[in-house]
């Protein structure tokens, strides 16, 4: 190495040490050694390209992030967060998934955001894990009506209220049931100004937190008593595997039109797709097919789930490739 090369290398090492080890910024280094800040920037880039600086990251989440990247690339979603709690039971896993989603919301929600909230115990668990963040003028809006008159703590109104309490902010109330007896009754409710205004506000939210429900006897809409066994079988015969708000989706993520949907008061899947940032929280083996359908529908921007669900989700996707619109579901033909 000639003298000129040695001087250059020594300077690159010196600048890199000041920046990476001593914690000085580029302007401070520039002032110290009399070299312009843009030149300092170029020298740092050169030090990396020549191997003088080698950056390593101690990543305790490498396995989780591998699945996050795989799901994001497979389904074309912006962000995926996979929570891994080894040897934990399902209740503990769900608690940590909820805590992770709450931490995400605390960082995502900004001053004056309007946030849409759906019904569901999973969404309620996120609200219970929230901490006050000091955001100003945030408002929470329910995206679907109430399921029954039992005052359940997981109704959209209740969830919106708890979120607002944790953020010390405001919330709206949707004074309507989620499901009514007929499409005519639904239209009557929608003509009420207070109900119409809340639903219009829900359509204009900047962020939405939603749950994903399977279409089985364990689904929220069935357990609440609003769908009979006959109605459940009817929507299953049409290929529905996923329920989000008032809409049903088949395994390809396509909307399934059903009489039950015409009796529901809340946002549809098309309304949800128009929201800028839709965050879904869902975990559990029984929800894998429903989560895949939701991802295929392209209504989600962020998914928070657990490791086991993530693995099963990728396996399910591999074993059930999406069909073209011209193919007929064997489920629908059954």
**Strands across the sheet containing 207-211:** 79-83, 302-306, 277-281, 207-211, 114-117, 139-142, 170-171
pLDDT for residue 292 is more than 60: yes
Q: Report percent pLDDT > 70 for the chain.
A: 93
pLDDT level of residue 329 (50, 70, 90 thresholds): very low
Across the range 262-280, mean pLDDT stands at 95
pTM: 0.82
Across the range 206-224, mean pLDDT stands at 85
Q: Which domains does the chain have, with CATH numbers?
A: 3-49 (1.10.10), 62-333 (3.40.50.1360)
Across the range 195-205, mean pLDDT stands at 96
Which pLDDT belongs to residue 326?
Answer: 45
Q: How far apart are CA 151 and CA 287, in angstroms?
A: 26
Mean pLDDT taken over the chain = 89
Across the range 176-189, mean pLDDT stands at 90
pLDDT for residue 265 is more than 90: yes
């Amino acid at each position: 190495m000639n003298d000129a090369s040695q001087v250059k290398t020594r300077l690159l090492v010196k600048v890199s040490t000041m920046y990476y080890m001593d914690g000085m910024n580029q302007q401070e280094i520039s002032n110290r050694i009399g070299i312009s800040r843009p030149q300092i920037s170029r020298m740092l880039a050169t030090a990396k390209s020549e191997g003088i600086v080698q950056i390593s990251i101690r990543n305790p989440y490498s396995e989780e992030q591998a699945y996050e990247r795989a799901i994001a690339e497979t389904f074309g979603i912006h962000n995926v967060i996979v929570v891994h709690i080894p040897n934990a039971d399902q209740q503990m896993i769900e608690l940590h998934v909820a805590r992770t989603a709450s931490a995400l919301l605390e960082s995502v929600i900004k001053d004056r955001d309007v946030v849409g909230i759906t019904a569901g115990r999973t969404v309620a668990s996120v609200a219970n894990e929230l901490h006050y963040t000091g955001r100003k003028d945030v408002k929470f809006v329910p995206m679907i009506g109430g399921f029954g008159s039992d005052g359940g703590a997981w109704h959209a109104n209740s969830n919106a209220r708890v979120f607002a309490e944790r953020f010390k902010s405001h919330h709206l109330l949707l004074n309507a049931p989620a499901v009514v007896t007929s499409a005519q009754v639904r239209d009557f409710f929608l003509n009420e100004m207070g109900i119409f205004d809340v639903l219009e506000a829900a359509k204009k939210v900047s962020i939405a937190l939603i749950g994903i429900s399977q279409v089985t006897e364990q689904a929220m809409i069935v357990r609440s008593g609003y769908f009979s066994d006959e109605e459940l079988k009817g929507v299953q015969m049409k290929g529905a595997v996923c329920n989000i708000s008032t809409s049903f989706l088949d395994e390809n993520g396509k909307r399934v039109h059903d009489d039950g949907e015409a009796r529901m008061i809340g946002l549809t899947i098309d309304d949800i797709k128009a929201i800028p940032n839709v965050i879904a929280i869902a975990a559990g083996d029984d929800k894998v097919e429903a989560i895949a359908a939701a991802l295929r529908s392209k209504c989600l921007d962020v998914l928070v789930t657990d490791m086991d669900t993530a693995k099963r989700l990728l396996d399910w996707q591999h074993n059930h490739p999406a069909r073209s619109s011209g193919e007929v579901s064997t489920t629908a033909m059954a």
